């Protein structure tokens, strides 16, 4: 992934905006809040680091949090339901739209939103990779 998609998404400010909007939806939804042990943690900041790296920006999530394996591990104990998975997908898509992400960003990200949500759910049910 080239850094051009990260820039197209608005850089750190753009991915941070997606994360802020996403968590505004999530923390207002009683179906979703049980997935978060401590809603006061910096979920927005962590997701912004992950999204930035995903879109080709700086490798800060990997440097600060451990990258992909950390993301996988935090989902292990969650037991994500089909309804929670679908809601996550809907909220992420809505966040991208509300953040006015360019079509190229949404087109690139959409299949990963679906496959990532399914992978997180599978890992949460298996408790391992």
Give the CATH number, domain containing residue 14.
Answer: 1.10.490.10
Count of Cβ atoms closer than 10 Å to residue 5 Cβ: 17
The three-point CA angle 32-18-3 to 5° equals 135
Crossing angle of helices 68-75 and 103-126, rounded to 10°:
50
pLDDT score of 96: 97
Expressed as residue numbers, the domain containing 93 is: 3-126
Give the integer Cα–Cα distance in Å for 39 and 27: 8
Contact at 8 Å (CB) between 3 and 99? no
The residue behind tokens 């910096």 is 42
| Phi, psi values for residue 35, rounded to 5° | -75, -10
DSSP H or E run through 8 = helix 3-8
pTM: 0.88
Total of domains in the chain:
1
> pLDDT at residue 1 above 50?
no
Percentage above 70 pLDDT, the chain: 93
pLDDT score of 2: 54
């Amino acid at each position: 992934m080239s850094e051009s998609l990260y820039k197209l998404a608005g850089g750190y400010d753009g991915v941070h905006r997606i994360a802020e909007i996403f968590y505004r939806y999530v923390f207002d939804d009683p179906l979703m809040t049980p997935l978060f042990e401590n809603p006061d943690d910096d979920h927005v900041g962590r997701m912004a680091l992950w999204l930035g790296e995903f879109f080709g920006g700086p490798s800060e999530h990997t440097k600060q949090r451990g990258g992909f394996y950390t993301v996988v591990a935090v989902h292990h104990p969650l037991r994500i339901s089909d309804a929670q998975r679908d809601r996550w997908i809907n909220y992420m898509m809505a966040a991208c739209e509300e953040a006015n992400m360019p079509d190229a960003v949404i087109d690139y990200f959409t299949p990963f939103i679906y496959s990532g949500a399914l992978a997180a759910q599978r890992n949460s049910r298996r408790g391992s990779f």
